[in-house]
Structure 1
Amino acid sequence: MKNLTKKIALFSCITTALLMSSCDTSDDSGTVDVNYSAEDATRAAQADIIVENTLNIMENGYVENEETRNSSVSFFPSCTTITITPNGSGGTIVLDFGTSCTLNNGSVVSGKINLEYGAIVDGTRTINYSFENYTYNGHGVEGGGEIVRDIENENGNPSSTVNETITVSFEGTAITATRVGLRIAEWIEGVGSGTWTDNVYSITGNWNTTFSNGFSRSGEVTQPLIRKLNCLYLVSGTLDISQQALTGTLDFGDGSCDNIAVFTFNGQDYTIILGQ
């Protein structure tokens, strides 16, 4: 991968090339070089989409099979085998996508997602999740964590608080990205409608993503990220990010369904293609 490095005076930064620039600052202690990689920045944003979509798949698998929602139109096509095993006041759900399964929103998945949960206590239920040879649009996904499912939050909506340690293996490369953090998703539209197509989620939280090539990025949601389940991408909201000693803002748009996000750094806007 290529990184362009420019040396400049303190408080001055010149960006060069689309998302492929760097800033160097000098002070009494010497010069600090910071290389900026477009490729790593794009992969980090893509990892967020892969993780987000996977968490939405898990949530819908649980909601359709365990909560009292009238799911007359399922998110899952016939290529998904769903096995429910009750165990007293809890149980397990296995979502088996086989060697390849195109979900009804266009996501292509394979392998299994395992959900294990206990009793509902004070309106919440803890769900443990793990992956088994699972891929999302060709990218490997491993790891797991815990979901605390709130049947009705302070706004009267269902919500899920996810503690996550999820590793993404990017298709066609040897690079992996591990995301560790906290994600809170509130179901704000489409609750109880009987179809997944009008479901909308508002997402907050913060997470750190570490790459096997040494790159790392931290992100914190500053304006709720909005996810429409009938779109493969986040449609709006902002994430403040820190990477390679630089800070900026990633904006997912105005509500339109597209694969474009805009990274703003040092007063300049750069387009990131989120891919699949």
Structure 2
Amino acid sequence: MKSFHSSTYRLPLLAAGGLLLLLSACKKEKSASELSPQEEQTIAFTSARSDAQSHGTFDDIFDNILGVNSEVGFGNTGVFGRPGSGPGVDSIPPCVQLTVVRLSQQGPFPVRISIDFGSGCTGRDGRTRSGRIVTDYSGRLLDSGSVAISTFENYRIDSIRIQGVQRVRNLGGPGRRFSVEVHDARITRANGDYVLWNGNRVITQTEGQLTPNLAIDDVFTVTGAASGQTRNSGLIHTWTSTIELPLRKRFTCRWFSAGTVRSSRSGLAGNSPWVGLLHYGQGQCDNLASFTVNNSTYQISLP
């Protein structure tokens, strides 16, 4: 909210107090007894979509910080992925600038890498990113125990602003496993609607282990839980989500292709008809999912 200097705007004390109460009332989350069935259904839909958008956004960031180069990660993932025309052809747009700062004189780590998309850089996925992702790596993320912490400087995907902190840790074997913690995330749309999100996930590689330096055949599963708050068209609500069936993510696909997420408004009983289930599908690569709430199932398109 815009602030005003008291020297310019002099409101009587009672009027100012009344204005503050009005603003607080506008921002207050409705209680369960105040919600109509239509609002309950809207909340169920927006909770599921907000959670899916948050998962997808930070999964994209995970791919990007792993993809910078083979010194800190896999290399060749996310915006750094290669188009398949040959091992020496990099698909990274020329508008992306990398800055590498060694944080110690004793060795290559820790290291800080900034991925700078400038005022706007469109990738192969058709999305335009701007601003910077800044990541501190304690070691190579393919090594057990290594940690990467990412923050964001005016970072946007298309018109959506991304804020928060993402912490990735390599959990070691067998196989590749990563914990991904997202704290105080805020995803803000141009119209002022937003998602506040905190997530804890474990990402496990299930296919492609025999080709450790080739990401194109990699498949991962994702487990975990999250919580958030959403403002959508003036309606504010908080919610929680749990991955019931592990999400499946192929390197070659932008979206999750299988798995189920249960989401519900905070305080909702577990047997309420307004608890929602988002089904990502049976393995196909597309942005379609099915959503079940109040004994009805709908097909929805994901961000």
**TM bucket, shorter chain:** 0.7 to 0.9
Residue 137 (1) aligns with residue 165 (2): no
Structure 2 counterpart SS, 1:182? strand
Of 229-238 and 255-264, the range deviating more from structure 2: 229-238
Of 206-215 and 189-198, the range deviating more from structure 2: 189-198
The aligned residue for residue 211 of structure 1 is: 230
Which of 52, 59, 69 aligns to 1:45? It is: 52
TM-score w.r.t. structure 2 length?
0.69
The aligned residue for residue 19 of structure 2 is: none
The aligned residue for residue 96 of structure 2 is: 80
Which of 238, 242, 254 aligns to 2:264? It is: 242
Which ranges of structure 2 fall in alignment gaps of 5 or more residues? 1-31, 77-81, 269-273
Which of 114, 117, 123 aligns to 2:137? It is: 117
- The amino acid across from 1:66 in the alignment is V
- Following superposition, the deviation at residue 164 of structure 1 comes to 0.7
Deviations 1:183-241 (A, max 9, x none): 11123334546554433321111100212442222111111111223322211111111
Of 30-39 and 46-55, the range deviating more from structure 2: 30-39
Contact 2:74 2:215 in 1 (8 A): no
Tell me which protein shows more strand as a share of its residues. Answer: 1
Tell me which protein shows more helix as a share of its residues. Answer: 2
Structure 1 counterpart SS, 2:101? strand
Which structure has the bigger radius of gyration?
Answer: 2
Change (3 A) 1:137 1:160: farther
- Following superposition, the deviation at residue 102 of structure 1 comes to 2.7
Distance 2:173 2:226 in 1: 22
Which ranges of structure 1 fall in alignment gaps of 5 or more residues? 1-24
- The amino acid across from 2:296 in the alignment is Q
Distance 1:210 1:193 in 2: 38
Structure 2 counterpart SS, 1:55? helix
Contact 1:107 1:137 in 2 (8 A): yes
- Following superposition, the deviation at residue 79 of structure 1 comes to 2.6
Aligned-pair identity (%): 23
Structure 2 counterpart SS, 1:258? coil
Distance 1:115 1:201 in 2: 22
Deviations 1:43-98 (A, max 9, x none): 4433332233233222323x644247698465633332222223333211111112
Residue 263 (1) aligns with residue 270 (2): no
- 5 Å-filtered alignment, 1:98-247, equals 98-119=118-139, 123-150=144-171, 152-154=172-174, 156=175, 158-165=176-183, 166-170=185-189, 172-190=190-208, 192=211, 194-212=213-231, 213-243=235-265, 245=268, 246-247=274-275
- The amino acid across from 2:277 in the alignment is T
Structure 2 counterpart SS, 1:37? helix
TM-score w.r.t. structure 1 length?
0.75
Of 245-254 and 78-87, the range deviating more from structure 2: 78-87
Give the superposed CA RMSD. 3.0
